[in-house]
Structures are given as structure tokens and as C-alpha cells.
Amino acid sequence: MADAATAGKSGKVVIRNIGLLLSGDIDRPILDADTIVVRDGLIVGIGREADLDTDEPDTLIDARQTCVAPGLIDSHVHPVFGDWTPRQNQLGWIDSTMNGGVTTMISAGEVHLPGRPKDIVGLKALAITAQRAFDNFRPGGVKVLAGAPVIEKGMVESDFKELAEAGVGLLGEIGLGSVKGGTEAATMVKWARQHGIQSTIHTGGPSIPGSGLIDKDVVLEADADIIGHINGGHTSLSEQHVCELCEKSSRAIEIVHNGNEKIAIAAAQAALQLKCPHRVILGTDGPAGSGVQPLGILRMVALLSSLGNIPAELVFCFATGNTARIRNLNCGLIEAGRAADFVFMDRAQHTAGRTLLESVQLGDIPGVGMVMIDGIVRCGRSRNTPPATEIPVVVGAH
Ligand SMILES: [Zn+2]
């Protein structure tokens, strides 16, 4: 399955009879449309079936009135190589997460590699190797954007230039290496930004023995593009300091599963009160001490919607279009020209919610009925979510 993931084109795909189409766009989260047309992995048409060219598809899918949303994006993972994590010694965690609706993952550093090099030549070599390896090998078809070096003392501007020219577009969490001071971090963040490399900073208490505290003053001074796990990974700053970060910084507010849940809700609500919901993005921060969470993003959506009292269709945007825009990804939004990465969901069997959105607002996670990446079906009924009431069917393929 993994081998097939990068090969082959989808041809023409028609998805009809969609009951609810979530756009990923926080300004307009629900689209008035029942059909999507895909050609060779990209969305080419969205609208009413009668208005679109649906003739002679290579694959025809009847969504059976279920919900279609952009594939979920996990903004914060720690992959190593292939579909294996040494952190909990688990195989198949990425494919398992795809069964939780995730189609893109972003590395916050390949920090769990046994014997990870910390010298500058070594950390650059690892980043380039990780970027290449995941570009060439996509477990379950999932797009793993990896190659996120953990910056260390002694790096100079030419190191960032060299990384960028080699195809590295991300920094691992600042604070996991020897650079822990605000001034030093700010200098390197600027170098990274000049060369088109996006940065994330660890926020909060140490995650595991060997990592350190990054407080709000360091986060503000470093000014990284993403305030990584603003609700702690695991230990959070105080609610007052987290709200201060939301207010004083204009950078992305990343909320993770493996953090403090109370502060997760506080951070999301602070963003809404500050009228900047577009800044909120979601991650798991897995694999980690808390394990691997194949349903971590769906659980965050249900948590923020139910206990945070935020409409479910908005929270889905935190996990899709917001992340895509902040991270310049060609997925995460239902728009012509974007990647045909979709998750098909329905209310879980026997939830108290009468609709998918209501069930999420009541705190239940949805059932995934199908996942598509680049227009290719990667799984049918999820092996991990509670069973969806209705699932889409492939009615024709040739
Ligand atoms: Zn961290």
C-alpha cells in the first residue's frame, strides 16, 4: 500500500451526492455544493452536479449524503524514518493516523532518531535526508513534510542558506537543541525566514528529560512563525501568559493534543475574542511520551467544539485551511487547483447528535468512511474511528 502511494495518477474522479461540504475556509466554512470533480489529483470543479462536467469519470464515488472535508493536517509531529517511531517502538503509526482522516503531517523535528547528530554538519545532513526520505516514501499516501533541523549554537547564516538550497523548508522546534535564549533564537529565526524556511518554537515546560523551559518572553523575542504547542507539550505556561502570547504576537497559535487541554480551550477562545481565528492550527505532537494518537486531530476538533463551545465547522478549519494557508500548502481547502485530499465523515453510529456537526459539538468524534489523497482512495471505512452511520461507495472505476 505504501509503495503505491506516490505512483500513479487519479485520472478523472467524480464525487457526487455529498450531503455536507466543509470548505476549510474559516470565512466561509460550508459550501453550497454536492459534487466535486478531480483531474489527476487536483480539484477542477465544485458545485451542483447538473452544472459540472461529470461525464466518463475513471472513478465515480457516491458520497451517499455524507460529509466531505479537506483532509486533516497535523501541524506538529515527530517522525523519524518510514512508518516507524522509536519513541514508543511502533510500526504503522502514519497509516493508522491516515485512518483518522489525516492526509498531511508536518515535522517539528526528527528528534527521536536514535543517536541523533547534534553537530552542525550532522544535523544538516539529517534534515536533508529526512526531507528526501519522506518525499520518496509516503506511508498510506500521507504527505509527511519532514526535514526539520533542531538548531544548535554556532550555526551561521550560510547554514540556513545551504539548508534552503537543499530543499529544507522547516525548522524543528526551537528549544529542543542548545539554542534556548530569545536573542540567539531571534537571529536564527530571521536567517531562516530570509531563506524561506518556516520556524516553530517549543512553548512551555520541558517535554522530556533533556529539553528545557521556553517561557513567554523567549517566545515573543524569538518571533518564530509558529507558536508551537501553545498549550504545552505537555506542561503549559499559565493561562495568563498563553493569552498574552495570543494578544502580543501575530504568529500562528498551534494547539496540540499532547498538551494541556484546559489551556487548549483557553487559547482557542482567546483567538476568537481577539478576532483572529485564522491563526489557530492543530497538531498532535505525537509520537511522544503520551504515545501515538491516530485520532488525535479528530479528538482535538471534538474537544474544542464541545468544551470550547466553538461551532464544529469552524474548528474543522483549524485543522485544514488555516494550516494550509499559514504553511503555504496546496491542500486543506476545497478550491479549484488544490490537491484532492479529502476525508469523508458521517455521524458515528448511535451518537446523540442528529447531524455530523451536532455530534461533534456534543463531544463525539465522527466516523471516517473514506480517505482520499491526490484523488486516490487510500482507505474505506476507518479501522480506527467509531463506525460512521453511512459511508461513501465507489460505484464505478475503469
Ligand atoms: Zn515541544
Residue 274 Cα to ligand 1 middle (Å): 25
Please, which pLDDT band fits residue 7 given cuts at 50, 70 and 90? low
pLDDT > 90 fraction of the chain, expressed in percent and rounded: 95
With bands split at pLDDT 50, 70 and 90, how would you rate the model's confidence at 361?
very high
Whether residues 130 and 264 share a domain: the answer is yes
Q: Is 93 found in the same domain as 207?
A: yes
Q: Band of the pLDDT at 355, cuts 50, 70, 90? A: very high
pLDDT band at 209 (very low <50, low <70, confident <90, very high): confident
Domain co-membership, 168 together with 257: yes
Instruction: Give the per-residue pLDDT at 398.
Output: 63
Does 161 share its domain with 263?
Answer: yes
CB-based contact 266:238 (threshold 8 Å): no
Residues 215 and 110 placed together within one structural domain of the fold: yes
Determine the structural domain holding residue 25 and report its residue range.
3-70+333-397
- Tell how far CA 354 is from the center of its chain: 28
**How many angstroms is it from 66 CA to the middle of ligand 1?**
36
Cα of first residue to Cα of last residue in the chain, in angstroms, is 19
253 and 123 assigned to the same domain: yes
What is the distance in A from the centroid of ligand 1 to the CA of 189?
17
pLDDT per residue over 18-58, tens digit each?
999 999 999 999 999 999 999 999 999 999 999 999 999 99
CATH code, 33? 2.30.40.10
> Considering its fold, how many domains does the chain have in total?
2
Cβ atoms of residues 176 and 150 within 8 Å: yes
In a domain, 247, yes or no: yes
How deeply is 15 buried, as exposed, middle or buried, from its count of CB atoms within 10 A (0-12, 13-18, 19+)? buried
Helix (H, G, I), strand (E, B) or coil at 268: helix
Q: How far is CA 35 from the centre of its chain?
A: 25
364: which DSSP letter?
A: P
- Domain identity same for 150 and 56: no
Same domain? For 276 and 386 the reply is: no
Same domain, residue pair 129 and 235: yes
Q: What is the pLDDT of residues 301-354, one digit of tens each?
A: 999 999 999 999 999 999 999 999 999 999 999 999 999 999 999 999 999 999
CA 165 – ligand 1 centroid, Å: 26
- How far, in Å, is the centroid of ligand 1 from the Cα of 65? 40
Query: Does residue 226 surpass a pLDDT of 90?
Result: yes
Collapse the DSSP code of 160 into the 3-class scheme (helix H, G, I; strand E, B; otherwise coil) and give the result. helix
When pLDDT is cut at 50, 70 and 90, the band that residue 2 belongs to is very low
240 and 363 assigned to the same domain: no
Please identify, among 234, 265, 294, the residue that sits at the C-terminal boundary of a domain.
294
Tens of pLDDT, residue by residue over 78-115, are 999 999 999 999 999 999 999 999 999 999 999 999 99
Mean of the per-residue pLDDT values of the chain: 96
Over range 112-136, report the average pLDDT.
Answer: 98
Same domain, 46 and 150: no
What is the whole-number distance in angstroms between the Cα of residue 148 and the centre of ligand 1?
Answer: 13
Q: Is the pLDDT of residue 5 over 50?
A: no
